Structure 1
Amino acid sequence: MPRLQPGAVLAGRYRMVRVLGVGGMSTVYLADDLKLKGKRWAVKEQRHDARDLGRIKAEAEMLVRLDHVHLPHIVDFFPPDADGCSYLVMDYIEGMTLLEWFERCGRQAPAEQVAAYALQLCELLHYLHEGRREAIVYRDLKPSNVMIDGSGHVKLVDFGIARSYKADSAADTMQIGTIGFAAPEQFKGAQTDARSDLYSLGAMMYFLLSGGQHYYTARKSLRHLKPSLPEALCAAVDKLLREDPAERFQSAREAKRALERWRPGPGGSDPASRAAPAEAAAAPKLIVVGALYAGAGATFTAVALSKALAAGTGGCAVIERSAGEPELFAQLFGEKRAPGGYSFYTDEDGGAGPVWEEDGIAWYPARPDAGERPEWGAERRLRLFYRMKKPFIVADIGTDWLSPEAKELIEEADAALAVFDPLVYKLESPEAALRLSEIRSLREAGKPVHYIANKAVRTGGRSEWLSLMPEPASCVLPAIDFAAVVEACWQGELVHDKPEISRRLAAALRPLTALWLTPNSGGKPIWPRWAGIPRLYGKMVRSRT
């Protein structure tokens, strides 16, 4: 039974709001921070006797030392009190467990989304197994221990039975795990290692992809259970589930490479990635994002939107127009993060190199350096869009609303977003007036256009600022603290990936993402076939006849 009631205060700082979950020996509460107004935390209460003290402290010390995007941060620890209860204070992850997501999908999880989550877990397992001085074996990977936050990032929680790997140990002190997901060696007295976690990853994927069956009872190949699944994906899961650890993938990085080879895109082995153009055209929806003037935040908004859409669908592509001064490659720290052999879609080969993909988002920045760029006409664009294989394509056009190429792209789009910020004097420029006139024409012609207010601050003139647009803003994005932007820059990451900022942006964009997504669609957009591909195809045919 939960020991703390709503309103109870821990250590004079954390006030309990409600119970989030109850386990065998633990309770997790949602708590308000009385010092940092508006901040909320998850507080894990663990009940134990004196013999558990070492294990509880070890878990806390282990978590405090860890730092990864797919792990919650631990901010406080209180050792056992007189009643035998200790408390961990950690990030509150607003979202759902992978098990809850699976149930919401009607127990028919989309294969590409399962693979996307598995790829994120491979990144985390690589960090736990090889990215530290002392490897950590998690030992309890299962859908109920994986959270999905508002940005579509998975977070691994509950390190209660994780252990540090000791190469000179023949067996674990305790053989613990969840039947159905734990590796066979966890119940045979043998030592667990990184390959034990990889088995659990395979068991979890098997469960999600088979409609809820456990491999340890079914004992059938995933391909046998679900013939419609891609053969390469089934082969990867089967290898993860080998009885003998020596026959499994030997590292999370190796498993990740196998899953990446399956996922749709250039070089992928999934037959769907070689589908006919008419089949490929059924899913992608094109959204153009542009600014009314320089500095309003078209690129910032495009990235925020792509992350919100990827969280709901498992996939999104972001493409940057090459006009003006491209900046997406630099903002993404492409020199460090782009895959080896990467080429830009604006190059002569049309971006035929490896796809740059992270957390379900495929990035297509324009080449940042100056120089002559090939024209990005309809046929070239058509080939590129076919290759993307994503439910959504977000195109960042900067301030280029008026060029013939931009107009053609906007004509093909399912929606256009016009971004503005509180620096209202910029609206008085002739260029901004021309863009507003163009946007009004688009609206009159029936094109769905949404105004996005960016960098919103709490000022007395806020309502007057928002009233300057011809229509109310569909979304109002919060101003991001400049210190957080600088800190993210020095850390070589996007400020959008900071959990608190990610949650705020996803919430601000929800009026639009709720229009375009449905929770029961299995990660597919709710609107009908994209008309842009047939229009483009018709233009190409007419131009050749």
Structure 2
Amino acid sequence: MVHSGDIVTLAAGHYRLREQLAGSAYGVVWRADGGAAGEVAIKLVNREQMTRAEPTVQARWAECAAREIAFLSRLAPWDARHIVRLLDHGLHDGLPAMALELLDGDLAAHMAAQNATARRIGLAQSLAWLAQINAALAKVHQHGWRYLDLKPGNLLLDASTHTLKLADFGTNRSLLDAGAHTYTGTASWQAPEQFFPEGAGHLTDARTDYFALGAIFFYLVTDGATLRYSGACADAWRAHGRDGAAQLLAAWQVAVEQFECHGRQAVVQAMVEQAHDVARIPGREP
């Protein structure tokens, strides 16, 4: 486990960790001092989470980091307009690590700050940011990947230009691999095919990313709201984990049956009741 003050040595330099900025199941991001290079963001594999996983799946942590480095290292300099820049990479304690440009927080934090001061993101700014995100996704697809984790937390704000940059590419999946894959991403921002499995896994393609882009547009123009469908998926995931999709499908099937038997008013009531049941976490009152 790393601590503030530790030195991370990569291919092009040494970086002293200052403070942890963010963390997820797969990675942790630190503000670091790169000497003449200035401040950077150091992204490391979340070793603590990795060691808790079954030994048979621990390799996924290194694979996600290696996949992100491989994608970012192939980008041209002008691609940095809307995608976070990779500055350096190498190994730290035997696992892939990278130095990224340090930006000014993510879209989720920016939205929270706007709402706290009763300010809104205007339509013109929302459309401009949407175009920037779309350009970033196009670049991901051009390089043969689908992104699969578009959400406010992965969109970083460059305060100097007031633009957004896409970050965190560990969930990328090859567009050439059309087969079903394991679950990945964040439930509250996923297209149906990414949340609900089809046979042995999830069948996604580049279009899956554009569902999430639409959800981001809704988020921007509604002061941070999420789609009701997406909220239901998130609630089901929090309550039941990987079983949430099956629980939600069962609830919706009850609603359909109610509609067929009793009409619209009955289906509305059934959906409300079933949604409460799905979101109820065992041992905790809803």
Structure 2 length-normalised TM: 0.65
Aligned to 1:166: 176
Where in structure 2 are the equivalents of 1:132-281 lying within 5 Å?
132=143, 135-150=144-159, 151-166=161-176, 169-171=178-180, 173-187=181-195, 188-189=197-198, 190-217=202-229
Whole-Å separation in 2 of the counterparts to 1:113 and 1:71: 18
Whole-Å separation in 1 of the counterparts to 2:131 and 2:214: 12
Aligned to 1:7: 5
Task: Rate the CA distance shift 1:15–1:102 in 2: closer, same or farther, 3 A.
Answer: same
Query: Which amino acid in structure 2 is aligned with residue 7 of structure 1?
Result: G
Whole-Å separation in 2 of the counterparts to 1:64 and 1:103: 32
Contact 2:68 2:168 in 1 (8 A): no
Task: Rate the CA distance shift 1:38–1:218 in 2: closer, same or farther, 3 A.
Answer: closer
Contact 1:148 1:155 in 2 (8 A): yes
Please state if 1:89 is matched with 2:90: no
Contact 1:97 1:143 in 2 (8 A): yes
Q: Displacement, 1:185?
A: 0.9
- State the identity as a percent: 27
Task: Rate the CA distance shift 1:86–1:126 in 2: closer, same or farther, 3 A.
Answer: closer
Aligned with 2:65: secondary structure? helix
> Deviations along 1:25-58, whole A, 9 cap, x unmatched?
4221111123xx2522110111235422333322
> Deviations along 1:370-417, whole A, 9 cap, x unmatched?
xxxxxxxxxxxxxxxxxxxxxxxxxxxxxxxxxxxxxxxxxxxxxxxx
Query: Which amino acid in structure 1 is aligned with residue 41 of structure 2?
Result: A
Q: Displacement, 1:218?
A: 7.8
Aligned to 1:26: 27
Whole-Å separation in 2 of the counterparts to 1:15 and 1:110: 39
Task: Rate the CA distance shift 1:73–1:38 in 2: closer, same or farther, 3 A.
Answer: closer
Whole-Å separation in 1 of the counterparts to 2:219 and 2:186: 13
Higher helix share: 2
Q: Where in structure 2 are there 5+ consecutive unaligned residues?
A: 52-57, 232-286
Whole-Å separation in 1 of the counterparts to 2:69 and 2:32: 19
Whole-Å separation in 2 of the counterparts to 1:45 and 1:54: 12
Where in structure 2 are the equivalents of 1:351-362 lying within 5 Å?
none
Aligned with 2:212: secondary structure? helix
Whole-Å separation in 1 of the counterparts to 2:170 and 2:208: 16
In the alignment of these two chains, the number of paired residues is: 207
Q: Displacement, 1:147?
A: 0.8
Aligned with 1:161: secondary structure? coil
Q: Displacement, 1:63?
A: 1.9
Whole-Å separation in 1 of the counterparts to 2:174 and 2:37: 36
Whole-Å separation in 2 of the counterparts to 1:54 and 1:6: 26
Aligned with 2:105: secondary structure? strand
Whole-Å separation in 2 of the counterparts to 1:176 and 1:54: 14
Contact 1:180 1:216 in 2 (8 A): no
Contact 1:57 1:79 in 2 (8 A): no
Q: Displacement, 1:80?
A: 5.6
Task: Rate the CA distance shift 1:129–1:102 in 2: closer, same or farther, 3 A.
Answer: same
Where in structure 2 are the equivalents of 1:337-352 lying within 5 Å?
none
Contact 1:180 1:203 in 2 (8 A): no
Contact 2:155 2:165 in 1 (8 A): yes
Whole-Å separation in 1 of the counterparts to 2:25 and 2:16: 23
Task: Rate the CA distance shift 1:55–1:102 in 2: closer, same or farther, 3 A.
Answer: closer
Q: Displacement, 1:162?
A: 1.2
Query: Structure 1 stretches (4+) deviating beyond 3 angstroms?
Result: 216-219
Whole-Å separation in 2 of the counterparts to 1:15 and 1:97: 23
Aligned to 2:75: 66
Aligned with 1:20: secondary structure? strand
Contact 1:28 1:45 in 2 (8 A): yes
Q: Displacement, 1:99?
A: 1.1
In structure 2, which of residues 83, 108, 113 is the aligned counterpart of residue 99 of structure 1? 108
Contact 1:5 1:16 in 2 (8 A): yes
Contact 1:98 1:147 in 2 (8 A): yes
Query: Which amino acid in structure 2 is aligned with residue 4 of structure 1?
Result: V
Q: Displacement, 1:206?
A: 1.2
Where in structure 2 are the equivalents of 1:285-324 lying within 5 Å?
none
Aligned with 1:105: secondary structure? helix
Aligned to 1:111: 123
Whole-Å separation in 2 of the counterparts to 1:26 and 1:38: 23
Contact 1:74 1:90 in 2 (8 A): yes
Aligned with 2:188: secondary structure? coil
Whole-Å separation in 2 of the counterparts to 1:80 and 1:5: 13
Whole-Å separation in 1 of the counterparts to 2:212 and 2:230: 15
Whole-Å separation in 2 of the counterparts to 1:5 and 1:177: 28
> Deviations along 1:420-462, whole A, 9 cap, x unmatched?
xxxxxxxxxxxxxxxxxxxxxxxxxxxxxxxxxxxxxxxxxxx
Please state if 1:125 is matched with 2:133: no
Q: Over alpha carbons, which structure has the higher Rg?
A: 1
Q: Displacement, 1:22?
A: 2.4
Structure 1 length-normalised TM: 0.36
Task: Rate the CA distance shift 1:25–1:123 in 2: closer, same or farther, 3 A.
Answer: closer
Whole-Å separation in 1 of the counterparts to 2:221 and 2:132: 17
Query: Which amino acid in structure 2 is aligned with residue 178 of structure 1?
Result: T
> Deviations along 1:210-239, whole A, 9 cap, x unmatched?
2333214389xxxxxxxxxxxxxxxxxxxx
Contact 2:67 2:169 in 1 (8 A): no
